[in-house]
Structure 1
Amino acid sequence: MSEVATVANGLEQNWTGLAAIEAAAALGKQQNDLTAAHEEMLSVGVILHEAVAAFTAAQTELTAALEAARAANCTVEPDGTVTGPPMTEAEHHDIDAAEQRGILVEQIAARISQAVQAADEADTQFAARLNALAGNGHDGSGLNLATANSDLSRLVPGKSGPKAVNSWWNGLSAAEQQTFIHDQPGVYGNMNGIPAVARNEANRIYLGQLLNQFESMPQPLSAADQQKLDGFQAIQTTLDSWGKDNPPLFLLGIGSQGQGRGILAIGNPDRSTNVCAFVPGMTTTLTSIANGDLASAHRLFDSAELVAPSSTTSTIVWLGYDPPPGDPTDPHTLAVMGSWRGQAGGASYDQFLAGIRSTHGSTPLHLTALGHSYGSFTVGQAAQRPGGTGADDIILIGSPGTGAANASQLNVPAGHVWDGAAANDEVTQLPSKLNVGMDSVVGPVLGPAGTAALDNTVDPNQLWFGTDPASGQFGANRFSVANGAALPLLQAHSQYFDPGSSSLTNMAAIVTGDYAKVTLTQPR
């Protein structure tokens, strides 16, 4: 390239006339083309370097997960399914051993799934980036993607939070932002700190890619992959059928990690005065996110508009973690309903809310964290992280506990933790692990009377995950909710969002900061 410049300079000094002008123009174009090619080759080097690092990290994690499986005598099937070793007779009667075994198997399975998914996503993302370079060439736009990628690689991976990401994103040109959205939608659509409009655009593209990926897999799919595909299809159907009379719907997150990831927002959280991020609990899937859970968020949105018609609200349903499957009233489910899912989900939820703060516009923001069932434990875990979630209010409904001893540990101002617990909701009355452990040991020997006597030695305010949020000992504001249906089981657990219910009206008043309209009731 320097030789071309030298020739051009010599021509300008020693050659004049029309032919000289045409020659200079031709040499100038050649110089520009060579400069563009040089920049593109540098970009290829950056992409390949990042690809090697991503594949190496995924391979290392997969090897470590398989070693952990061998050490635990677990069997790993070709599709990634992990099966624990046969239980001994003694282990069948040891609920703690069963819990630990279940947690171990789930952790290993999650590690394997995440490693494989990381490799798949890296393959898709880096192939798209290389194809973009091959297909687009240099168009003279001055788009410096190599520099932008380099800046991001120094900024994001584990070093900077959503505020830094938002600052980086806002420093890009509109053309650069669009290139990132279309070349790597799965990355930027799920990155906290990028505005909702951009995330929505990227994730709708990425959802199409995920559908193509899963629909083209060899059939039949594994149960886990089929569940994800069903969920992706359900979300696409919801997006396609969302009526124009409804408030705008934003796809803020989508992915195939773990059991699947999906985040939907009704209303633009970057432009709304009130934002509520709702975390559902056990048995939640991508399909339920697109249907029942989104319907609950929609009813809360409508109720908030009735309570506070002069302000704007966005309600979000957030599936950014792997909720436990199964029936929470089944002792076998309880035996493996550990805390690691909520702890991991809490860390992700914390970063998501930080992203909402970082992208919000100039209007004031009132942010509410809402958790239902096991989702309330996840919210509680996020709130107990250093600095908390940044939420102004925390709402817990149908909660089996947060892992906290009292509301003051949830890092919101005093009086801003709220709990709703229906009288007939079994999940809000799950006994503590100590109770369950004693019942399983002494029940067959002493009978119901002996079990009841021992249960009385345990603090009645202790639930499966710590202090009962509805108890006076916990210190939350308990708002009134209907008793709920006594039968069938778990019916009352799913009625907190019922249209016109006192619980829905009370939650809407909290979400909009109109606390005077909240109807309180006595703690348990």
Structure 2
Amino acid sequence: MSAMTLRELLAADTTAFHSAASGWEGLAEDLDNTVESYISSTRDLGHVWSSGPAAQQAQTRVAKLRREISNAYQPARQIFHALDHHAYALGDLQRQAAGIIERAREDGYVIDETTGQVTARTGERTSGSVDAELRAVQSYADQLTVVVDRARSLDEQTAAELRRHLPDRDTGFGDLRPRDVSRQEVEQVRGRPPQEVAGWWYSLTPEQQEQVLAQFPDLIGSLDGIPASDRDTANRALFGGMKDDLQRREDELNRRITELLLQPAASLNERNANLRLAEELRRDLADIDAQQARLGKVDAALAQLGDRGYLLGLDTAGDGRAIIAVGNPDEARHTAVWVPGLGTTLDSTKGNVERVMHLQEAADVLTPGRAGDVATVMWLGYDAPELDLSVALEERSRQGAGPLVNFVDGLHATHLDGSTHLTVVGHSYGSTVVGEAALSGNLRADDLITAGSPGTHADHADQLMADPRHVWAGSATDDPVSNPTGNPYSVGALAGAHGTALGGLTEALVAAYDDGHGPSPHTDQFGANRYTVDTHGHSDYWNSGSESINNQARIVVGEYSATTIDHGQRPPDLP
């Protein structure tokens, strides 16, 4: 049993344990980065130097070193957790002991901090008061004994945990290959809360993480709770596979069409049959061309971002879904998640990414000396409505609310120091998705921004956030969605704002779009801050240099006092 005394408990320096924990956390992160770099730089060794005794020896040594570095990561991380837990638990025990001592002294008892002995008050006593004082003395002594015993137990548990993760004197951390993670294990993680997903991911060694990324990118890429850089790795592998598969299918279809057209026919019927089949294959080819064009929009957006781009989600089913970050949200001090609205598909990716890129650039210049302190995310993680009855109904926004909540939870779970300031921005119907997520009470956002909103399904800003000063709404005076009154309002104006064909819409459907989602959040009665907008129409809120985007950037970095507003009450600036 540990020999810790009450005096030692009271004098213990928890700051030193916090500092040591931080050092081990940094070491674990460095090991993770090192092994990732080492694996990527030596991955092709067997291909470029594949034969001969020297080649075999080199590959063996590379694998051994890779595994030992990888195997050192988990012990370092577990030591960090042990010291971190020890620091917080020890601080709590110190406060408990100090509270007991303070209450005892207020009652007139004397405490020996070396032995923990409690001495009764002096003076005349009746027999009844003596018994009461003895019981009180015993009670205070017992309480202190329990706290000191807990401190001793904590001391022993932490010491044992530290010893358990130290390297072996002869073999270090070993070079045994860690067990492979199965697809079934990864599938079982899907659907868990992002915090649990993050815990599972960090429980793997870097080599296991590398194995999962290489073998199951389709499972990892969309998993909230996986760090942004790893999701990007998985999704880019998935993206490359999609493009390669489409190219193979295109080549095969072209080959078959050519064969059918050149194939000698024994009869006119056979010739006509070949022509009909070739025409069917051309329709399949046109579909593949369309898919390639849609992926090309994603490719162009990522190319424009370069090293700043992170592909956090990709799905080509239906209209398609994509999540793309400008900057790494796990490292940024300020992160904004931007939710697009009506008519958004993969075809819209490049233009939407340019909007969040402009927002990131406008916000990042407000944190001088800290480049990369802001990340923005284009989150098309739901099936946005088309210009039909779906835009007037709540179903799509309700379907999108849960995934948005999970994504935001995932950003919190993977942020390196947990101190991110997070803003969620909704454009058009995207603001109804944000509203539904906020109304659930589970959206962990510090600020909400809407632009061109038809309504958020809330009647007042305090339904979206406990402090309505952190709800911000913007509306251009000639926006046909958020400001229909007094505008040349028509179906055509709404369709044109979204670049959407009219189809069979009627004025009644347009009215339903505005009336079906609650009051506009930029009105006085709603209770939000209306930030100044100097842009026109429904889609220009993120024009570079505009007061509209500059105001949103100020909100994203917490410079509320600099935000120009038409009405409302600004909260205090972030420190």
Match of 2:180 in 1: 145
Match of 2:473 in 1: 419
Indicate conservation of the 8 Å contact 1:400/1:430, yes or no: no
Deviations 1:472-509 (A, max 9, x none): 2211110110162xxxxxxx101101111111010000
The 3-state SS of whatever aligns with 1:307 is coil
Give the unaligned 5+ runs of structure 1: 1-139, 327-332, 437-454, 485-491
Q: What does 1:218-297 correspond to in 2, within 5 Å? A: 219-221=282-284, 228-243=291-306, 248-289=308-349, 291-297=350-356
Larger CA deviation: 254-263 vs 352-361: 254-263
Give the unaligned 5+ runs of structure 2: 1-174, 254-281, 491-507, 569-575
Match of 1:381 in 2: 436
Structure 2 residue 386 is the aligned partner of structure 1 residue 325:
yes
Structure 2 residue 445 is the aligned partner of structure 1 residue 391:
yes
Larger Rg: 2
The alpha-carbon distance between structure 1 residues 507 and 165, as it changes in their structure 2 partners (threshold 3 A), is: same
Match of 2:482 in 1: 428
Pick from 233, 237, 254 the counterpart of residue 201 of structure 1.
233
Amino acid at match of 2:360: F
Amino acid at match of 2:231: R
Looking at structure 1, the residues matched to 400 and 342 of structure 2 have their Cα atoms a distance apart, in angstroms, of 13
Amino acid at match of 1:468: S
Match of 1:470 in 2: 522
TM-score of the pair, normalised by structure 1: 0.60
Indicate conservation of the 8 Å contact 2:456/2:518, yes or no: yes
Indicate conservation of the 8 Å contact 2:298/2:346, yes or no: yes
Q: What does 1:128-207 correspond to in 2, within 5 Å? A: 141-146=176-181, 151-154=185-188, 156-158=189-191, 160-207=192-239
Sequence identity (%): 34
Structure 2 residue 557 is the aligned partner of structure 1 residue 508:
no
Looking at structure 1, the residues matched to 520 and 540 of structure 2 have their Cα atoms a distance apart, in angstroms, of 19
Pick from 381, 386, 392 the counterpart of residue 337 of structure 1.
392
The 3-state SS of whatever aligns with 2:524 is coil
The alpha-carbon distance between structure 1 residues 335 and 321, as it changes in their structure 2 partners (threshold 3 A), is: closer
Indicate conservation of the 8 Å contact 2:472/2:529, yes or no: yes
Match of 2:460 in 1: 406
The 3-state SS of whatever aligns with 1:494 is coil
The 3-state SS of whatever aligns with 1:288 is helix
Q: 1:241 Cα deviation (Å)?
A: 5.0
Indicate conservation of the 8 Å contact 1:194/1:359, yes or no: yes
Q: 1:226 Cα deviation (Å)?
A: 5.7
Q: Which runs of 4+ in 1 moved over 6 A?
A: 222-225
Deviations 1:183-221 (A, max 9, x none): 111110110000011011111000011223344276534
Amino acid at match of 1:266: V
Indicate conservation of the 8 Å contact 1:273/1:363, yes or no: no
Q: 1:181 Cα deviation (Å)?
A: 0.5
The alpha-carbon distance between structure 1 residues 378 and 226, as it changes in their structure 2 partners (threshold 3 A), is: farther
Indicate conservation of the 8 Å contact 2:180/2:208, yes or no: yes
Structure 2 residue 368 is the aligned partner of structure 1 residue 309:
yes
The 3-state SS of whatever aligns with 1:318 is strand
Indicate conservation of the 8 Å contact 2:452/2:481, yes or no: yes
Deviations 1:77-131 (A, max 9, x none): xxxxxxxxxxxxxxxxxxxxxxxxxxxxxxxxxxxxxxxxxxxxxxxxxxxxxxx
Indicate conservation of the 8 Å contact 1:394/1:417, yes or no: yes
The alpha-carbon distance between structure 1 residues 337 and 141, as it changes in their structure 2 partners (threshold 3 A), is: farther
The 3-state SS of whatever aligns with 1:253 is strand
Q: 1:412 Cα deviation (Å)?
A: 4.9
Deviations 1:6-36 (A, max 9, x none): xxxxxxxxxxxxxxxxxxxxxxxxxxxxxxx
Match of 2:426 in 1: 371
Task: Give the alignment's Cα RMSD to 1 decimal.
Answer: 2.8
Larger CA deviation: 307-316 vs 493-502: 307-316
Indicate conservation of the 8 Å contact 1:185/1:205, yes or no: yes
Deviations 1:437-483 (A, max 9, x none): xxxxxxxxxxxxxxxxxx9xxx99x7331111011221111011016
